[in-house]
């Protein structure tokens, strides 16, 4: 699994949110609608009513109980502090309102770049991906270069093109990691996941999905209790309220903490060692 810190060349990236060094960008730049994840509507560019003068959340310890479940499953992968401290050199949007709109527009693009860095760093740690190590390294260095561009250049980026290149590399890394499991499972009857298949609310309890690509699968509120999800590719899978109690996710790849936070689990759920059991799992919430 991935490490939270990646060092390449002269660069050191903390690939998880560091709210102390961010201007509360996710609490300002991003919009949300009243739903099961948020208790009211908020427009993009408008500070959340819970954002304090020090850019910290006033209800951070009670987000779920206060109806802000959506906040607990968001991850900027370190883009917030990058934009705040590097791109805008510590000049915040309150004291510099003339650059606020630009900062809000830069932030989601930087978030995409840092998400790519996170996945590329994880792939670089797969021993099975050794045949493409140099390509992964090159992609990391190019993505780093893009994160250090000035604001107007970042806004002009064709992120979709770069993401397509990175996505291809990550898919190749995934195939290399899952190849052995797929070969071992060749003779066994397995559940087939078709690309783009809607598995919302699917009854998959106890199913063997080991070595399967679940890229982008819609697994919202699915029943995956006691399922075998070892060595699965879970990049982009939507597991909101998926029931993972007792499921085995050891060795799963491209699984993030925010995905884990969005699901339901318990102490019997087996997670990769770099991921933490969410507090609400322990509380049975």
Q: What is the pLDDT of residues 220-229, one digit of tens each?
A: 999 999 999 9
Q: Which domain holds residue 18?
A: 5-30+74-178
Interacting residues of 104 by C-beta distance below 8 A, sequence separation 6+: 25, 28, 29, 44, 45, 93
Is the pLDDT confidence value at 186 over 70? no
pLDDT tens-digit readout, 122-140? 999 999 999 999 999 999 9
**Residues 145 and 192 grouped into a single domain:** no
Whether the CB-CB separation of 129 and 171 falls below 8 Å is answered with: no
pLDDT at 278: 94
**Residues 92 and 174 grouped into a single domain:** yes
pLDDT at 183: 60
In a domain, 51, yes or no: no
Is the pLDDT confidence value at 234 over 80? yes
Domain boundary among the residues 123, 144, 178 is at 178
In a domain, 39, yes or no: no
**Residues 158 and 266 grouped into a single domain:** no
Mean pLDDT of 183-187: 56
**Residues 15 and 119 grouped into a single domain:** yes
Interacting residues of 62 by C-beta distance below 8 A, sequence separation 6+: none
pLDDT at 13: 55
SS3 of 202-249: the string is CECCCCECCCCECCCCECCCCECCCCECCCCECCCCECCCCECCCCEC
Interior angle at CA 38, CA 32 and CA 43, nearest 5: 25
Is the pLDDT confidence value at 216 over 60? yes
Is the pLDDT confidence value at 24 over 50? yes
**284 or 103, greater pLDDT:** 103
Minimum mean pLDDT range among 157-171, 177-191, 271-285: 177-191
pLDDT at 194: 57
In a domain, 174, yes or no: yes
pLDDT at 198: 85
Kindly report the CATH number assigned to the domain that includes residue 200: 2.160.20.80
Interior angle at CA 44, CA 70 and CA 236, nearest 5: 45
In a domain, 63, yes or no: no
Distances 216 to 73, 112, 117, 259 between C-alpha atoms, Å: 16, 16, 18, 12
In a domain, 38, yes or no: no
Q: Residue 9: which region, alpha, beta or left (left: phi > 0; alpha: psi -120 to 50)?
A: left
**Residues 191 and 282 grouped into a single domain:** yes
How many domains would you assign to the chain?
2
**Residues 18 and 154 grouped into a single domain:** yes
Mean pLDDT of 161-176: 97
Whether the CB-CB separation of 218 and 200 falls below 8 Å is answered with: yes
Q: How confident is the model at residue 193 (pLDDT cuts 50, 70, 90)?
A: low
Minimum mean pLDDT range among 12-26, 36-50, 69-83, 193-207: 193-207
**Residues 119 and 160 grouped into a single domain:** yes
pLDDT at 197: 72
**186 or 12, greater pLDDT:** 186
Mean pLDDT of 10-34: 86
**Residues 169 and 194 grouped into a single domain:** no
Q: How confident is the model at residue 156 (pLDDT cuts 50, 70, 90)?
A: very high
pLDDT tens-digit readout, 67-116? 999 999 999 999 999 999 999 999 999 999 999 999 999 999 999 999 99
Minimum mean pLDDT range among 22-26, 142-146, 167-171, 281-285: 281-285
pLDDT at 7: 46
**Residues 129 and 212 grouped into a single domain:** no
In a domain, 57, yes or no: no
In a domain, 45, yes or no: no
Domain boundary among the residues 132, 150, 178 is at 178
**Residues 154 and 190 grouped into a single domain:** no
Is the pLDDT confidence value at 189 over 50? no
In a domain, 62, yes or no: no
**Residues 189 and 171 grouped into a single domain:** no
Q: How confident is the model at residue 65 (pLDDT cuts 50, 70, 90)?
A: very high
**192 or 70, greater pLDDT:** 70
Mean pLDDT of all residues in the chain?
A: 91
Domain boundary among the residues 112, 146, 178 is at 178
**Residues 222 and 250 grouped into a single domain:** yes
């Amino acid at each position: 699994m991935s490490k939270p810190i990646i060092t390449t060349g002269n660069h050191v990236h903390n690939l998880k949110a560091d709210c102390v060094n961010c201007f509360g960008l996710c609490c300002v730049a991003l919009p949300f609608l009243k739903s099961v994840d948020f208790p009211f509507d908020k427009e993009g560019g408008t500070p959340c009513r819970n954002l304090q003068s020090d850019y910290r959340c006033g209800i951070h310890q009670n987000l779920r109980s206060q109806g802000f479940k959506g906040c607990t499953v968001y991850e900027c992968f370190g883009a917030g502090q990058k934009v705040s401290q590097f791109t805008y050199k510590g000049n915040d949007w309150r004291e510099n309102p003339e650059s606020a709109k630009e900062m809000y527009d830069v932030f989601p693009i930087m978030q995409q770049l840092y998400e790519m860095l996170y996945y590329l760093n994880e792939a670089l740690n797969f021993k099975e991906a050794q045949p493409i190590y140099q390509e992964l390294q090159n992609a990391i260095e190019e993505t780093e270069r893009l994160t250090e561009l000035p604001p107007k250049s970042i806004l002009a980026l064709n992120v979709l093109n770069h993401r397509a290149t990175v996505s291809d590399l990550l898919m190749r890394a995934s195939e290399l990691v899952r190849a052995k499991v797929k070969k071992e499972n060749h003779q066994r009857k397995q559940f087939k996941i078709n690309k783009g298949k809607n598995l919302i609310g699917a009854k998959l309890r106890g199913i063997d999905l080991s070595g399967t690509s679940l890229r982008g699968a819609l697994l919202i509120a699915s029943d995956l209790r006691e399922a075998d999800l070892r060595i699965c590719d879970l990049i982009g899978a939507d597991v909101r309220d998926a029931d993972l109690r007792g499921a085995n996710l050891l060795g799963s790849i491209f699984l993030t903490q925010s995905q884990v936070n969005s699901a339901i689990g318990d102490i019997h759920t087996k997670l990769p060692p770099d991921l933490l059991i969410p507090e609400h799992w322990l509380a049975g919430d």
